[in-house]
Structure 1
């Protein structure tokens, strides 16, 4: 395992890298960091991949973005492009979950001809049909007095959206790990989530794409995921029974599952 502390887009970024072979960029969810991939990266590296796991700006051990918390997921996509250039990553797979999945789809739209493929989990490239979040409500949460129990709500909200097949002890660990996030960063990420929309670019995506959603994900409408799959040429689409919003944390042996998906993306649809 190799750790990088390098400047990307004007601030210092922390990146873990492990293995050699086909590069895979793994992107975390809103407010979280690369630790979400801790159970995946070594096993995936052993399967022949060069696994790159960054902390996005303001997350984990990465410094904040120069202009403050990011509210446009396109800015994260640009940051990822610069990071890949700094590390010499060519034709990678990009795998992300939630805002990470949305960023992966943005990269597919912007530079799909330079990607080996994309696995976008818990994302569909647009605003939700049924909005569970609003920009106005999220903005109010940036005022400390309006959200005194944000960490508790993150904890309980995570427990609510973890899939029914996840053992209670594992669900508890996921929720307790998630509550360590920075509320300002998380809320800004979620503003980016509810305002991004790259659906108009999905028909022109130039790399294979696999959309993945947990059947128990309360934060995602399955119809939105299916619609996005219909827009992308030859896209794969999988719904995981008993899984919620965080497949890479919820599914045991997820590296092998991801390896199968990536192998499939190398074949004709």
Structure 2
């Protein structure tokens, strides 16, 4: 495993790499960091991939974004494009969850012809998340209006972990998540709430797979399915008993993702023959 700081988008950014082979860029969720991929990363590398796991600007061990907390997921997508170039990742796969999944869709729209494939988990093309509004999220940026934010993150995470996940594992996921910076995570959620690429989904030029957990309270699986239907040749998977964080909840996730990536590779090869 290789760890380094790279200047990307004007930000000193932390990136972990593991393995050699087809590159896979793995993107984390709102307010979190690359530690969410800690179980899958080495296992994916052992399966023959070059796994790249960054901390987005302002997250984890990366320094803050040059313009402050990011409210536009397109900014993160541009940052990812620059990271791909800086690391010489030729035709990478991209796999992301929640805002990472939305950023994955942004990349598929922006530069799909440069990607081997995209796996967007817990995301769809335009966000209509229940209970989220830009106005409400902006109020949470005022400290006095959002007491016990870490507890809210903890209990909110427990609420969207799937029923298949053992209680001990769900507790670990929730306790790891509560370490987020509330200013960063709230800004991420503003980006999530305003993200919308629905009018460009038919232009996606890479094999794409959308994944959603049946127990994800933040998403309507039917909306994710509609997004998949609007992307040429896209696949759709509903994970029973799984919630909002498949890469943390699903036992043996690396093997599952490997299967999805192999399917995308087969789909790409069929098109290019």
Q: Same fold (TM over 0.5)?
A: yes
2:257 is aligned to 258
1:38 is aligned to 38
> Could you say what secondary structure the match of 2:266 adopts?
coil
Q: Does 1:24 align with 2:28?
A: no
State the shift of 1:132 in Å. 2.1
- TM alignment of 1:91-170, pairs within 5 A: 91-128=91-128, 131-170=130-169
After TM superposition, the score normalised by the length of structure 2 is: 0.97
State the shift of 1:131 in Å. 2.8
2:63 is aligned to 63
Measured in 2, the distance between the counterparts of 1:224 and 1:64 equals 33
Measured in 1, the distance between the counterparts of 2:97 and 2:165 equals 17
1:75 is aligned to 75
- What are the Cα deviations for residues 43-101 of structure 1, in whole angstroms up to 9, with x where unaligned? 00000000000000000000000110000000000000011111111100000000000
2:201 is aligned to 202
Measured in 2, the distance between the counterparts of 1:164 and 1:68 equals 37
> Could you say what secondary structure the match of 1:62 adopts?
coil
1:226 is aligned to 225
1:87 is aligned to 87
After TM superposition, the score normalised by the length of structure 1 is: 0.99
- TM alignment of 1:171-182, pairs within 5 A: 171-182=170-181
> Could you say what secondary structure the match of 1:39 adopts?
helix
CA RMSD of aligned residues (A): 0.8
- What are the Cα deviations for residues 149-194 of structure 1, in whole angstroms up to 9, with x where unaligned? 1100000000000000000000000000000000000000000000
- Alignment gaps of 5+ in structure 1: none
Q: Does 1:12 align with 2:9?
A: no
Measured in 1, the distance between the counterparts of 2:231 and 2:11 equals 34
> Could you say what secondary structure the match of 2:244 adopts?
coil
State the shift of 1:27 in Å. 0.0
Measured in 2, the distance between the counterparts of 1:49 and 1:264 equals 15
Q: Does 1:49 align with 2:35?
A: no
> Could you say what secondary structure the match of 1:75 adopts?
helix
Measured in 2, the distance between the counterparts of 1:177 and 1:243 equals 18
Number of aligned residues = 268
